[in-house]
Structure 1
Amino acid sequence: MVVADFNQIKRSEHLPARIAAQIGREISEGRIAPGDKLPTEHILSKTFGVSRSVVREAIAHLRNEGLVETRQGVGAFATDLERRQSIRIEQEDLTDRASFRRLFQLRLPLEIEAAGLAAMHHGPADLAKLDESMARMSGTEKWTDEGILADLVFHRQIAAATQNEYFLTVLGFVAERIHLAINAARAAAVLEEIVEVTIAEHTAIRDAIAARDPNGARLAMRAHLVGAASRIGLDLEVF
């Protein structure tokens, strides 16, 4: 297991993305070699000075970029070069408003279709995981970064519920970069109002999926994404 010279992350930064960027540089520049095991969640959380759930989300970033693979009960390992994805969107690129809007526009049709497919193909375990995410989003953690992470897990679980691994790979990659939108929306509005609206939108999506109503799930997801975009001042093209 490699222990790299990571720096603690400032609290004002987008924690999972910044942590993923630091670890990713260690991998890309060869200081963590292909096949090397990353430090445990416990060690990384102590090193960066963040919670283990934040580290877990950072590892998910890296996994969706193809930089690491995770093995159940064993840990995370740097991947071989030939297995890494060629598509990369650096978080810093999304500080440009036009680029961020284009990424959000890409998310729209993918997530709408994923919601419809999840309504058709989900199993009991998928619904249980959606409910678990909803409980975290609407519980005592809803005002914190943990609530934001639960939001991302909710969307990732919808992708998984399609039973099409490509949705999980692509949407996992895109949604994690849209994480900035959630932070921006919370910063630009009254927190209590934005959180309650978001929870209501997610509840509508969850209920339509549970009812195996693909059209209802698609409409609920569309309303959520258009609403989320409007809350950060993005005007999407919707047909």
Structure 2
Amino acid sequence: MTVGFGQIRRNEHLPARISSQIARDIAEGRILPGEKLPTEHVLAKGFGVSRSVVREAIAQLRNEGLVETRQGVGAFVTEHRGRQSIRIEQDDLHDRESFRELFQLRLPLEIEAAGLAAVHHDRGDLDKLDETLTAMTGADKWTDQGIVADLAFHRVVAAATKNEYFSLFIGFIAERISLAINAARAAAVLEEIVEVTIAEHLAIRDAIASRDPQRAREAMRRHLLGATGRLGLKLESY
């Protein structure tokens, strides 16, 4: 693997750019199945970014099934390369129709996840949902940290289904919808959109806590349709 890629332009989404480069190295055989990736320090130095940016890029690759991480050891290319991994390039989502189609996929996945989470969640899942809501409603809610907490909320809902495939697919999509949240915030009065979004997430949390799958599904449906509406997108929902 070549790590001397130089400085990546600062106005681009750095983790996505780095994960795309590593994915290309894997696809083109410069990193082989089972091979260990360079350390965070080496990657950060080679790309000219912080180690936290590298960690986020590795997390994206893990969500896509391209690498696996071993605690205290590092990240390795997955051995089973026979099946095609999921990959959507960040640049593709600058196209309005591609973005709408990603949200169309998100709709049934997350609605079903909310219903399953209402049935299968445990106390730890509710605690994690509350942690993300605390971050969303705290002093940082106007900043990028509010977006991080928003995406973390959806990952926790996916994990609460107790079905690892929901975590895999929703985690993958979550890495790519930060653009949507930024776009929605830019297109509206920030105070209004943040408060509406928080209220929608609280409704989802309370519905899951009530163990009412239909109520949870409806709360998630309202949130997702509201989110796409704030982006000026229209989804097919029946």
Q: TM-score range by the shorter chain?
A: 0.7 to 0.9
Q: 1:42 to 1:231 in 2, by over 3 A?
A: farther
- Tell me by how many angstroms 1:134 deviates: 1.7
Distance 1:77 1:89, change over 3 A: same
Q: Which amino acid aligns with 1:73?
A: G
Structure 2 unaligned segments of length 5 or more: list them: none
Partner of 1:157: 156
Equivalent pair of 1:66/1:85 in contact (CA under 8 Å): no
1:169: Cα distance to partner?
Answer: 1.5
Match of 1:49 in 2: 49
Is the 8 Å Cα contact of residues 63 and 168 (structure 2) preserved in structure 1?
Answer: yes
Q: Secondary structure of 1:189's match?
A: coil
| Equivalent residue runs for 1:1-239 within 5 Å | 4-41=3-40, 44=43, 47-50=47-50, 52=52, 54-80=53-79, 82=81, 85-239=84-238
Unaligned runs of 5+ in 1: none
1:234, CA displacement in angstroms? Answer: 0.3
Alignment partners' CA distance in 2, 1:191 and 1:201? 15
Alpha-carbon contact 1:91-1:177 (below 8 Å) kept: yes
Q: What does the per-residue CA deviation read over 1:73-126, in whole Å, with 9 as the maximum and x for residues that have no partner?
A: 333222236255344322222222112111111110110110011011011221
Distance 1:6 1:206 in 2: 43
Q: How far is the alpha carbon of 1:43 from its aligned partner?
A: 5.5
Aligned length: 237
Moved more, 111-120 or 192-201: 192-201
CA RMSD of aligned residues (A): 2.3
Cα offsets for 1:10-54 (capped at 9, x unmatched): 4432233223223322333333333333344466556543462x4
Among all aligned residue pairs of Structure 1 and Structure 2, give the percentage whose two residues are the same amino acid. 71
Give the superposition deviation at 1:156: 1.2
Change (3 A) 1:88 1:193: same
